[in-house]
Amino acid sequence: MTKDYQDFQHLDNEENGRHQLRRGTPPTPSLLHRLCSGSRLLLLSVGLSLLLLVVACVIASQNSQLRGDLLALRQNFSNFTASTEDQVKVLSTQGGSVGRKMKLLESQLEKQQQDLSEDHSSLLQHVKQLVSDLRSLSCQMAALHGNGSERTCCPINWVEYEGSCYWFSSSGRSWIEADKYCQLENAHLVVVTSWGEQNFVQRHMGPINAWIGLTDQNGPWRWVDGTDYETSFKNWRPEQPDDWYGHGLGGGEDCAHITSDGRWNDDVCRRPYRWVCETELDKTS
């Protein structure tokens, strides 16, 4: 019993000691508590404010400098763009001017080449005609010296082809007047009897209307030299001859002519067209 009491008392003493330890020396204040206390807190707030102000000033200064740099960059870019556009316009204008000059030079060169070609062709034609005239003159002189009664060469300004001589007019007359002119030259209006002769006459006359020796004034169509019309060469245009009366000149169409495309057409004999005379070689003068 005494021992149990002593144990109880001992436990009670230990419990009292624990309560005394709990109520003993108060704990030391923390670092945050000391910083936040009194004037220290005020000084810390002022320091933080100054730091924030300095940071804000630095940022504002840098922002202002960046804005200035950006404006300068924009201005430089704008100036560069304007300068580039001006240079492009100048180059474009110069390029267009050069292109126009090149086209003008090309056009002038082509025209000069064309003129030279035409002059060359004309010169060759004149040379050929001169040679032909000299040959004719020599032939006629020989015929005069020999008192020949046969025509063995073409007169001057006439063109020889396949044993005949041809003369091409440069003015216009009616069919009847053209036929009379050829008769005075001891010839007749041309009688076209083949494609070769057709091409020869067309090549020398060019794309114009020219009377030929074919007419139906006194009945059916006939050639002036007596060549049979029905069995001979023909080169009429489609639906020709038509003896058309709608021209308003009176009467029908009784005389044939070569048109600009080489084919034949019947027309009013009074129209003033060019003509071609033909005479055969070895014909009694």
Query: Mind listing the pLDDT tens digit for each residue in 159-188?
Result: 999 989 999 999 999 999 999 999 999 999
pLDDT grade for 34, boundaries at 50, 70 and 90: low
CATH number of the CATH domain containing 264: 3.10.100.10
More reliable by pLDDT, 44 or 9: 44
Rounded distance, CA 105 to CA 25, Å? 117
Element (H, E) at 2: helix 2-22
Residue 209, domain extent: 159-280
Most confident of 34-48, 90-104, 132-146, 170-184: 170-184
With respect to residue 226, please indicate whether it lies within any of the assigned structural domains.
yes
Output the CA torsion 144→146→148→153 (10° steps): -60
Output the CA torsion 114→120→122→128 (10° steps): -150
pLDDT grade for 110, boundaries at 50, 70 and 90: confident
With respect to residue 239, please indicate whether it lies within any of the assigned structural domains.
yes
The answer, as to whether pTM is greater than 0.75, is no
Looking at the 3D structure of the chain, how many domains does it have?
1
User: For the chain, what is the total number of helices (H) and then of strands (E)?
Assistant: 5, 8
- Dump pLDDT digits (tens) for 118-128: 888 778 777 76
With respect to residue 12, please indicate whether it lies within any of the assigned structural domains.
no
With respect to residue 170, please indicate whether it lies within any of the assigned structural domains.
yes
Rounded distance, CA 243 to CA 215, Å? 11
pLDDT of residue 230: 93
Neighbours of 236 (CB within 10 A): 14
With respect to residue 10, please indicate whether it lies within any of the assigned structural domains.
no
**Whole-number Cα distances in Å, 217 to 145, 251, 252, 259:** 43, 11, 10, 20
Rounded distance, CA 235 to CA 201, Å? 13
Rounded distance, CA 84 to CA 81, Å? 5
With respect to residue 189, please indicate whether it lies within any of the assigned structural domains.
yes
With respect to residue 246, please indicate whether it lies within any of the assigned structural domains.
yes
pLDDT grade for 21, boundaries at 50, 70 and 90: very low
pLDDT grade for 36, boundaries at 50, 70 and 90: low
With respect to residue 242, please indicate whether it lies within any of the assigned structural domains.
yes
- Dump pLDDT digits (tens) for 177-228: 999 999 999 999 999 999 999 999 999 999 999 999 999 988 899 999 999 9
Rounded distance, CA 72 to CA 78, Å? 10
